[in-house]
Structures are given as C-alpha cells and as structure tokens.
Structure 1
C-alpha cells in the first residue's frame, strides 16, 4: 500500500471489536514504529502496552478516576484555540456528534462520549506513549512522529487505531497504574484493535484544508 493510500484511508477509529490481535502483528506494528526518525537518533519514546483483561481493568480504573478528579497532565495544555484553529476544532467536534446522532445541545450525551476516551473506545489494546522528562519539547516532538508512524503502520496491517490525548490528562494516575518511572512524561495513548465496521462513529472523517493554507513560499532573499 502506498503512503498516499495510507494517508487517505486512515481515520481515528472510535469503536472496536473485542478480539485481541495476534502477538506477531503487534510485534510488526511496533517494529515499524521504531523506524521513526528522531532528534540525534535518541529514539526517546517508550510504549506501555496492554491487552485483553489488563486493558479492561485499566479502563475501569481510569474511567472511575477521570469521572471524579480534575485534569493533571504532565505536558502543558494549549493556551487556547483562536481563529481558524478554533473553527477546525469545532467543525471536527460537530461532525463527530452528528455521526453519533448527538444534538449540539445534548451536553450529557456529549460528556458521555468524551468519557469513552477513558475506556479506550472498547479497544482490546492500548499503548501509553512516554518521553524522557530531560528531553523537554524535543522528546515530545519525536514522540509525535512515533505516534504518526504507528497510526500509518496500523492502517497497513489492517488495524483500527486512535491517538488519545485525553488519557494524558490524568498523567499521575496513568503513571501509577502502569508503573511508569517519574523521569518519563506521559504524552498520549494509542488504542488499537479491529475496527467495528457497523459502528456509525466509524463513518466520521475529519476534513483537511488545502496545503496552500499551511505552506508559505519565501521567494525573496534578505541581506544579512
């Protein structure tokens, strides 16, 4: 499968079948992820991986914690969303709720859907990705590249996957539950498995603006 095909076919899966994935496929997934380029080849990422009953136990514990405790992420949250970034965020949220048949005014249903992040949308596997604290933003950037590679590799292997920043909102709890060392920051999670083909939420797709809106061509040189 070509890169362009992978990029256009991949989506964030939010409903999974319960079947666990063969270890050989999981090994292949993370072997491909390890090919991600990184700053000075530090390969700073670490993935804490669960399957089956352990995933379910983690989901129950994290859901209970998230329902009663405020967010406490390791990495700082965005200071805000303004302009086109806010418009894109809102568009994506409205389209997601539309796919689920949730009205914009139904705050309870929207909150319940948000809480599904903490059950990993029913995925049989979740990988929590961390970065060394000492590497700061550069380690987090490398981990972002690692996550992207894993998402594309999952698509190639016929898996559904979704990156989840929400899991990192409760970093101290996640660290404690998974026995993550204090010198690692929780970046995000990736939940994966086989996509449920009958789930309406899996028909949802985000839009993309034209590349010209992101690329600025510099055509004049400046003297020093």
Structure 2
C-alpha cells in the first residue's frame, strides 16, 4: 500500500464559525478527522440546524430520503449515557439492527489494525495492555465526552440501500459540521446497543439504528485528537476500463 495521509492540522474550538475561512470540498475532506475527546461546551441550536440544513439535501435512491436523525443534547445526553452505562455494566453485548461484518480479513484487517495501533499509541496504551484498550473502547458509550449525539436511523423495509443512503447523509452531516468548526465521530459502536437506544428515544420498531454521531467542540490539547489515518491511492481505489 502507498496510502495518502490526511492533513494533521487541528481546528480551533475557540474560533466562532463566522471567522472560519472558506474551504473547498477537497480541503474539508482532507482536513476532517474523527474526534475522540470533546469539550463540554454545547453547540448552539442554530449551528446544529445549519448542519442539518445541509445534510437534509443528501441525494437518495428514488428520493426516498430514508434517514431520520434524533439529536440528543443537554440532560437527554446524560440520560442516554446513563442508559448505555447500565446496559454495558456486565460487558457490551452486541445487538445491532443491521448485521455487523462477520470478520475483517486481508487488507481490511490491515487497515483496521493500523488505525487501532495509531489510536492506542496516541493514548500511550501498549499493545499488550488489554485493560487499557478495553477502557478506551468503553469510552464510545460515553460519547468521548461530547455534549451531543445524533442517532441516524433508516426504515427496515428499505433494506441495505436505505442504509447506504443514510451513509451519504452521515458523510454530508460530518462535513457540514466540520465546515463550522464542529468536530464529529461516527460510531458504529453505538449501534451495538440499538435496543437501549430505541427504548430511550421511543423509536418505532421499524426504524433501524444505523450509526450514532457524537459531536461538539474538540479538545485541542488531547493527544488522541492529533493522529490521522491513512487513505488509499487512486490506483488502489479505482480500476479504469477503456
């Protein structure tokens, strides 16, 4: 592999959105990163609506727009944290609505491993420190300290393509947030607790939890927010037929 590294500049949480320079789509995609340590400061409701106003324009198959997002803030965030902590007290059993991969093999396992090693290295967790890695994994259910979580769901009857369309929605959500200086981290881990989330939010049985997105302002001093993952080259991504 000859992956392309993403930019390593860290955004400032202290700059108001109005002072952020205009960035092209290329610049947004290159500089976006998954935040794993947030400040407690909440994002103003108007800014959250600005993000959603972009994400809602996401294209979908036959314009079905299968996504719905439940945005959790304030006391509701703390309540969901408490519900998840109680559910995983004896270990985080996996109960996703959408089946997870059976295994990661070959290059997919290599990429997953590379990302994991970078994460643990940034936190000073040794490869052999199973307890340390387990503690970090459990931080998923604490939303890494984020004051907000967006739970994205699809309609079960729409099958895999409904989830695919939701993936497009998630991509636009996180880029729209990044443009405003709001950090995000999409978390499949939250989908492992779909029954807990469904009960807490009062979701209908036909709504499937696709992913959760924790978001807020990043802690720029946290080492875990400094590392960046790699990307494939064009030659690895594409095959051209002429």
Question: Scaled by the length of structure 2, what TM-score is found?
Answer: 0.89
- 2:17 maps to which residue? none
| Match of residue 84, structure 1, among 83, 101, 107 | 107
**Equivalents in 2 of 1:148, 1:64: separation in Å?**
30
User: Relative contact order (alpha carbons < 8 A, sep ≥ 6): 1 or 2 greater?
Assistant: 2
Provide structure 1 residue ranges, at least 5 long, that are not aligned to the other structure.
Answer: 220-224
- 1:21 maps to which residue? 43
How do 1:6-155 and structure 2 match up within 5 A?
A: 6-68=28-90, 69-155=92-178
Report how far residue 80 of structure 1 moved.
1.1
Provide structure 2 residue ranges, at least 5 long, that are not aligned to the other structure.
Answer: 1-22
Q: Is the contact between residue 51 and residue 173 of structure 2 (CA under 8 Å) also seen in structure 1?
A: yes
- Of stretches 210-219 and 20-29 in structure 1, the one that deviates more from structure 2 is 210-219
Runs of 4+ residues over 4 Å off in structure 1 = none
SS at match of 2:221: coil
- Root-mean-square deviation (CA, aligned residues, Å) is 0.9
**Equivalents in 2 of 1:15, 1:98: separation in Å?**
15
Q: Is the contact between residue 49 and residue 125 of structure 1 (CA under 8 Å) also seen in structure 2?
A: yes
Question: Scaled by the length of structure 1, what TM-score is found?
Answer: 0.96
What per-residue deviation string (whole Å, max 9, x for no partner) do you get for residues 12-37 of structure 1? Answer: 00010101111110110111100111
SS at match of 1:48: strand
